[in-house]
Amino acid sequence: MKQYVINGGGMVGAAAALALAEQGHQVTLVDLQPPGAARPAWDLRISSVNQHHWLWLNSLGLEQTIDTQKVMPYTDLSVTTQSGDTLRFGATDVNLPQLGVMVENNTLQRALWELLSEHPRVSLKVPERITEFDLAQQRLVLASGEACDYDVLIGADGANSQVAQAINISYRGWDYGQRCLLANVRLSQPQAAATWEVFRPQGPFALLPLTDQQACLIDYRSSGEINCISRDENTLVKALHHTFADRIGAFELLSHASFPLQRKHALNYSDGQSVVLMGDAAHTIHPLAGQGVNLGFADIRSWLNCNSDIAAYEQARKTENQRMMRAMDMINWGFRSQNPLLKLGLRAAFKGFEVLGLKQQVIARAMQT
């Protein structure tokens, strides 16, 4: 059994801590802060977690502690191109009860922390931070002065990872020049348990279904456009109605915020010895297909499958994450393109998916990420 230190207890770090403790390892989890307090209203930071990873999280005990008010199962998903062609995916296509869930990030993190706080092999250090890294001795010193020895140090400390800096990891990436506007709304009419996304030249817009006849509306545009439409609440409400009302009818705006979109990929996921990166510490991906935290969960599961073999983990995950990041960039670029040949090609591809029955394969592949 190994001694792990995990820096960062977000959704990925907390799930990694629980999975490793369940395997019999000793885990120390360090975070600058605990998860935020539970609130009755849905937060804007929501993730779609696919069914493959949702079942795995439940196998770690999540269903005992998660607040189901902030979990919305969805059974259908559709993508519509600029030409109006729509590809629909359903849970029944792959004989599953649901494709996954929409879950509030904070609710998921809190539920994991509740399990960790009771786990005999987990020590939570919060609020706390690492002040010294002795990589040769595999020892850390915390701000409190406490020293922690480790066999493996996991950096799950997000896009500005302190652990990655400590082992001199460089990143390749760029700013998309786009922002993602998130708006939680109360709908005037019931919606199906379905998520959808519509592509247009300036970027896609999408809906995530939530409990209690609410939904999260997502609008991707250039940073300038987002700043312009969200300059005051009246302008924002008008812009949202203009984009969404045809599809969902009337709605009431509850909360909103926008986030800049960046791509970042670590050139290495480890120091080759005893330090590894997982989740956003290793990769930040365009969120248009809701893959970010799913890739983080896949990192953890790959680590568990690789039996702590750092080289095998790094090779498996770097290749897979790179593939997914490229796919997102192609979708982001290709589906927004005004090039008539590309549009024609996409149209043919969509028809092909339906006719050739490739949908099942696409869903099954997406579930493995």
Residues that bind ligand FAD (CB under 6 A): 7-13, 30-33, 47-48, 105, 129, 156-158, 162, 180, 259, 279-280, 287, 290-294, 296
> Which CA distances in Å does 10 have to 25, 106, 222, 344?
19, 9, 28, 42
CB of 351 to ligand FAD, least distance (A): 28
Q: Which of 239, 216, 166, 169 is nearest to 48 (CA)?
A: 216
- Cβ atoms of residues 270 and 302 within 8 Å: no
Kindly provide the residue ranges of all beta strands, DSSP E only, lying in the chain, ordered along the sequence: 3-7, 26-30, 46-50, 71-74, 76-80, 86-90, 100-104, 122-125, 130-134, 139-142, 147-149, 152-155, 171-187, 194-198, 205-209, 214-222, 251-266, 275-277, 283-284
Nearer to ligand FAD, 262 or 342 (CB): 262
Distance between CA atoms of residues 120 and 117, nearest Å: 8
The residue assigned the tokens 């290709």 is 334
The residue assigned the tokens 């902030």 is 70
CB of 310 to ligand FAD, least distance (A): 19
CB of 94 to ligand FAD, least distance (A): 19
> Which CA distances in Å does 22 have to 64, 116, 242, 312, 322?
15, 10, 49, 22, 29
For residue 111, the one-letter residue type is: A
CB of 53 to ligand FAD, least distance (A): 9
CB of 13 to ligand FAD, least distance (A): 5
- Cβ atoms of residues 182 and 258 within 8 Å: yes
Nearer to ligand FAD, 139 or 343 (CB): 139
Nearer to ligand FAD, 49 or 187 (CB): 49
CB of 345 to ligand FAD, least distance (A): 27
CB of 352 to ligand FAD, least distance (A): 27
Distance between CA atoms of residues 197 and 174, nearest Å: 24
What contacts 63, CB < 8 A, 6 or more positions away? none
Nearer to ligand FAD, 156 or 239 (CB): 156
CB of 199 to ligand FAD, least distance (A): 17
Nearer to ligand FAD, 105 or 230 (CB): 105
Helix axes 359-367, 340-356, angle to 10 degrees: 90
CB of 152 to ligand FAD, least distance (A): 16
The length of the chain, given as a count of residues: 369
Nearer to ligand FAD, 74 or 251 (CB): 74
Nearer to ligand FAD, 117 or 339 (CB): 117
Nearer to ligand FAD, 203 or 290 (CB): 290
Q: Is 196 exposed, middle or buried (0-12, 13-18, 19+ CB in 10 A)?
A: buried
Count of Cβ atoms closer than 10 Å to residue 34 Cβ: 14
Nearer to ligand FAD, 183 or 310 (CB): 183
